[in-house]
Structure 1
Amino acid sequence: MKNIIYKPWLTKGLALLFCLGLSLSACNNVLEDVDDLSNYPAQGTFDDEQTVNAYLSALYSSTFSGWPLNFGNYSNESGGIIGSDWITENNGTMKFWPYDIIRRVNIMLEELPAGQIPTEDQVEMEAQAKFIRAYLYFKMVYYHGGVPIITKPQDLEDNLNVSRNSTAECFDFIISDLDHAIANLPGRYEGGEFGKIDQATARAFKGRVLLYKASPQFNPSNPYDNGYWEDAYQANTQAKEFLDANGYGLLENYTDVFETSQHKENIFSVVYVDPVKTNGRGEDAVRPLSESKNATGGDQPIWALAEAFPMKDGKMPGDPTSAYTYDLQSFWENRDPRFEATLVWNGAAYPLSGKTDRRQYTMSNIALPVDAFGYIIQGESHYRTGLYCRKGIMEELSQELVNTNDVDWPEIRYAEILFNFAESANETGHTNEAFKVLKDIRQRAGIEPGDDGNFGLNDGMSREEMRETILHEKFIEMAFEGQRFWDLRRHRMLDRLDGMRKYGIMATKLNGKAYNEVTPEDINAANNYNLMPDDFTYEVVELITNGPTQMSMPEKYYFFPIQLSHIDRNTNLEQNIGWEGGTFDPTL
């Protein structure tokens, strides 16, 4: 059971906010609806430290969410086909327009200096607010490109028909807010203050922002030789050095990253505490339904992800130089330890709900029907893959308490900073620094170092080979953490998803017997968890056989459209090029 620390600064602040009636949800989007622009916090809100913290806590809650459940459906991590017309100008898919929250941030920044809180106590509050604003603007920019920069709370008498700022102007604005946060926040919050934005958070996030700015997404005509890569390298170098100096680093045990709290790898976390705030992981949707409640099917791994994990010596499955022979019929054997830490397969030990000897089965007529993956269950192939996700699951929770999971969500963790550093190092000629990152990641994972100490990695990789290796390593290290789709998109590699079909791994026979030939004795053996993975025969099967069967990721998805309803209300907003009527260029 993980160590739980109560967070009074967050939970008491939110409670006070609503007790005072300072509801902030009524402020509508200032760029589409002006009905509530006169809605302002109550007089005196910014005169008292407790009410300011309540206001700030509400901004945290509105901005930072938990695990990105099912986001792997958009890439090659989990099941689900993204068909054509997934994103349109009219629908709400992949639209991000949080000007209601930004208005609240701007209110705080405007009113706080005029309040009665001592100036020296305002500094950290203002810096946290500016980080939140930078975070929101950054997400808008990587969704849509340049957007209107609003720094004051708009009123009814203001001109609300604002135009989009250029993408370059938006990046400058984001970096300015982050630099302010870096200059005015303490190095690291710990103990009861853990979960608050600090200098470590701001430095790490600045590295992420500048990595995106340098990326092919924003620089299609000069994807890897533009000058922004040097900026990204410098920022990520500074972030890594600061984090190292302040006690951050990789945990020794990979699974502890997701099952313990307040550790040295979590730089910025969304904190969950039972019973105040729970189920950020969505464990009730990720577990097999036989050990869950209400629904399941979330984050179901596909065969492409299983294939991506190397063997224990770091070589890919089937590589003739590997010390380990790979066979589909024993695909789980001798794999990178992160394979077992991330995936659950047919017959694997999965001790949920206090059942210490429990094994997970997926074969039809052997598994419980709600967990099975087979040809005979109508619609089943759409929601089952033959694999389940183990990452972030609190296995000790009973079925009745499954939604009390309070594992913190690591919004920014040290491993990501290492990958950001490695990418920018590789693109600026520091290949050896990138290579060391990969070895550090693999060493922590438990991969064997080999005689050459390279953990299965090839010496002398070219810049392009190193780029691919970094992206692949991040794919498996950060599976189901909401990174893969965005990584492919910012590298303009969505063509790797376009036209992709998705597959699962099906247990088709038990000791040579098909599903309709199993005996009561076989079922009894399963009920007692006596069947092992190698008692079964496996086939790779396509998941979706009716309706859309192939992923659709057109070129125009590198920048999502501004929702048409926003443009209808504000004719000064230009649509992105590539979308109907689009004239705005979102690239740099």
Structure 2
Amino acid sequence: MKNLKFSLYILLCTFIIAIGFSSCSKVLDKAENLSQYPPDGVFNDLAQSNAYLANLYGSSLPNSWPLNDGNSADESGGITGPDAITVNSSRIFWPYDVIRKLNIFINTIPTGTLADANKSNLVAQAKFLRAFLYFKTLVYYGGVPIIKEAQGINDELKVPRNSTAECFTFIEGDLNEAEAALPPKYSGNDRGRIDQATVKAFRGRVLLYKASPQFNSANPYDNQYWAAAYQANSDAKTFLDANGYGLLDNYSNVFTVKGNQECIMSVIGLNPGKVNLRGDDAVRPLSESKNATGGDQPIWALVQAYPMLDGKKITDPTSAYTYNEQSFWLNRDPRFAQTIVYNGAPFALSGKAGRRQYTMKNVASSLDAFGFAIQGESAYRTGFFTSKGLNLALPAPPTTSDYDWNEIRYAEVLFNLAESANETGHSNESQAVLIAIRKRAGILPGSDGLYGLKGGMSRAEMRTAILDEKYVEFAFEGKRYWDLRRHRLFATKLNGIHKYGMMATTVNGRTADQVNPTDISNAAAYTLLPENFGYTVTELITSGPTTMVVPDTYYFFPIPLDYINQNPNLKQNIAWGGTFNPEL
């Protein structure tokens, strides 16, 4: 069975992530569990070594879209309450069990009998995975223990934390070593494996964080690390451009066309072995799905954030288009209609041609109505759904979408370059990135060719423009909360805010209690249009807190007490009663 598709190999070998090599039958015949310490000889067999590594891919990388991550930010409807993060709950990431398995692999493969080229390639992939895990842990807590060997029962297990600087150096070292032994780009049957393109793009992300205000609160935008971040992201873009990557012409296709030119690091979906990575059933309105759905519901703040068709903000009096709250969907950035589903909007789920989504009480299905509690008032509605990344053709309830999750896409590299360029005196490159993003989106260029952007922006204005653009470009892709955290903007953007939706309160001048049979039949025939309704901005209805609580202590999460109790050499972060400084 040679040259199996990367994802098919993993399915046949009962692992999670895709990888394509030969003779997986040998692995299936093994009685031993290869997720544990392997028996002698396993790493002398290429197929078994790849199977072990495949399992580590599945344990190290995200398995799906970051569903409802926007609840913690200003994207979707959840509320972060006063006890969202404590010293023993939420935002816990401590992957040392997987790191131990990676260390086994990294240290044992070189001693085996595989060909040297195979050894170096396998170790390189594993070192990237180790760097990926250490980076996420570092972003959570600051410096953590660096462990390069597989600890045994006779080893000293109570290891202290390394400094944040030491951790960044370790991660960069793993990435440098990985890049040197990997091919420039995997494609075809090998798509999904770590290659040089992945390493370069990810290094840009790592160094952007290293330079960020999160790790440099005393000198957030003039520290020494910004130059390295700019160089890494500039190099990444040059390399990606030379290897066929770039912005895809159609924004929606980025999420629905597998292996397109914007996909740099993808978690591969495969029907039937690994499906519904988007969580289609959890995002669709309940009328077209099952159980507790309606995840990633946009809030009014996100809806307002999309510019007009000429790229101007909805509040900008110089826009060629007049914004009206009662027709908020008209003449907007084309990404709006490709992301936001509003009352009366086309939403052809389950193959229902011409289907429209309604959210008004007594017009919509009661399962979808805003302000009408079916599952208790804690089941909030915002009056919006999202279509981003969904397979609309699937029947209800959807279970078989095999769209990939793109952990890194080309547009992220562009934004990382724009940020680092702006902080190092290359704002012309930042502007070029924003123009490219807006041009691809379908925003009109305007007579000045700036696509609605202000000319001659200051450094601070450009910084804000980049974050504003990324807010809409990456909606529901798990970026917003971490971008605000990285820039230390919780106090100005999240802490103390309330979240709102848009309720359709009238149809053809009639309130919900006055809805007549004609309205109901027109809704069933999908002939009621958004302009047939009247709208009211309404605070979300929940049974819990209504005010977001996101204090500055959340810039670094606490080491859970369970881990400190097991290892007294772990010092707690300063903001959580300890002595460890998680910054650089």
TM-score (norm 2): 0.95
Report what 2:18 is aligned to: none
Matched length: 569
1:297 Cα deviation (Å)?
2.2
Change (3 A) 1:24 1:304: farther
Which moves more between the two structures, 193-202 or 5-14? 5-14
Alignment of 1:280-299 (within 5 A): 280-299=277-296
Deviations 1:151-187 (A, max 9, x none): 0000111111100000000000000000011111100
Residue 106 of structure 2 is aligned to residue 96 of structure 1: no
- CA distance in 1 between counterparts of 2:10 and 2:252 reads 27
- CA distance in 2 between counterparts of 1:75 and 1:511 reads 35
Partner of 2:536, secondary structure, is strand
Change (3 A) 1:552 1:18: farther
Report what 1:553 is aligned to: 550
Partner of 1:578, secondary structure, is helix
Change (3 A) 1:22 1:169: farther
Q: 1:199 aligns with which of 196, 200, 206?
A: 196
Letter in 2 for 1:7: S
Q: 1:264 aligns with which of 261, 266, 283?
A: 261
Change (3 A) 1:285 1:436: same
Partner of 1:441, secondary structure, is helix
Which moves more between the two structures, 200-209 or 117-126? 117-126
Alignment of 1:176-215 (within 5 A): 176-215=173-212
- CA distance in 2 between counterparts of 1:560 and 1:390 reads 32
Letter in 1 for 2:447: D
8 Å CA contact 2:6–2:190 kept in 1: the answer is no
8 Å CA contact 2:144–2:167 kept in 1: the answer is yes
1:22 Cα deviation (Å)?
4.3
Residue 452 of structure 2 is aligned to residue 456 of structure 1: yes
Report what 2:21 is aligned to: none
Alignment of 1:484-503 (within 5 A): 484-495=480-491, 496-503=493-500
Report what 2:443 is aligned to: 447
The root-mean-square deviation of aligned C-alpha atoms, in Å, is 1.5
5+ unaligned residues in a row in structure 1: which ranges? 26-38
- CA distance in 2 between counterparts of 1:545 and 1:274 reads 37
Partner of 1:403, secondary structure, is coil
Residue 164 of structure 2 is aligned to residue 167 of structure 1: yes
Change (3 A) 1:196 1:13: farther
Which moves more between the two structures, 528-537 or 115-124? 115-124
Q: 1:76 aligns with which of 74, 93, 96?
A: 74
Q: 1:473 aligns with which of 449, 452, 469?
A: 469
Partner of 2:452, secondary structure, is coil
Which moves more between the two structures, 287-296 or 471-480? 287-296
- CA distance in 1 between counterparts of 2:30 and 2:425 reads 56
1:8 Cα deviation (Å)?
3.5
Letter in 2 for 1:478: F
8 Å CA contact 1:5–1:273 kept in 2: the answer is no
8 Å CA contact 1:318–1:325 kept in 2: the answer is no
Letter in 2 for 1:143: Y
Report what 1:11 is aligned to: 11
Change (3 A) 1:24 1:82: farther
Q: 2:149 aligns with which of 140, 147, 152?
A: 152
- CA distance in 2 between counterparts of 1:211 and 1:480 reads 21
Q: 1:20 aligns with which of 27, 30, 38?
A: 30
Residue 97 of structure 2 is aligned to residue 87 of structure 1: no
1:24 Cα deviation (Å)?
5.6
Partner of 1:106, secondary structure, is helix
Partner of 1:153, secondary structure, is coil
8 Å CA contact 1:214–1:228 kept in 2: the answer is yes
1:382 Cα deviation (Å)?
4.2
Letter in 2 for 1:87: I
1:508 Cα deviation (Å)?
0.2
Change (3 A) 1:46 1:499: same
Partner of 1:538, secondary structure, is strand
Letter in 1 for 2:118: D
5+ unaligned residues in a row in structure 2: which ranges? 16-23
Deviations 1:241-278 (A, max 9, x none): 00000010000000000010111100010000110110
- CA distance in 1 between counterparts of 2:541 and 2:31 reads 49
- CA distance in 2 between counterparts of 1:21 and 1:195 reads 28
Change (3 A) 1:565 1:24: farther
- CA distance in 2 between counterparts of 1:238 and 1:20 reads 44
- CA distance in 2 between counterparts of 1:158 and 1:6 reads 37
- CA distance in 1 between counterparts of 2:374 and 2:242 reads 55
Letter in 1 for 2:7: K
Q: 1:421 aligns with which of 413, 417, 423?
A: 417
Q: 2:235 aligns with which of 213, 217, 238?
A: 238
1:422 Cα deviation (Å)?
0.3
Residue 575 of structure 2 is aligned to residue 578 of structure 1: yes
Q: 2:53 aligns with which of 36, 56, 64?
A: 56
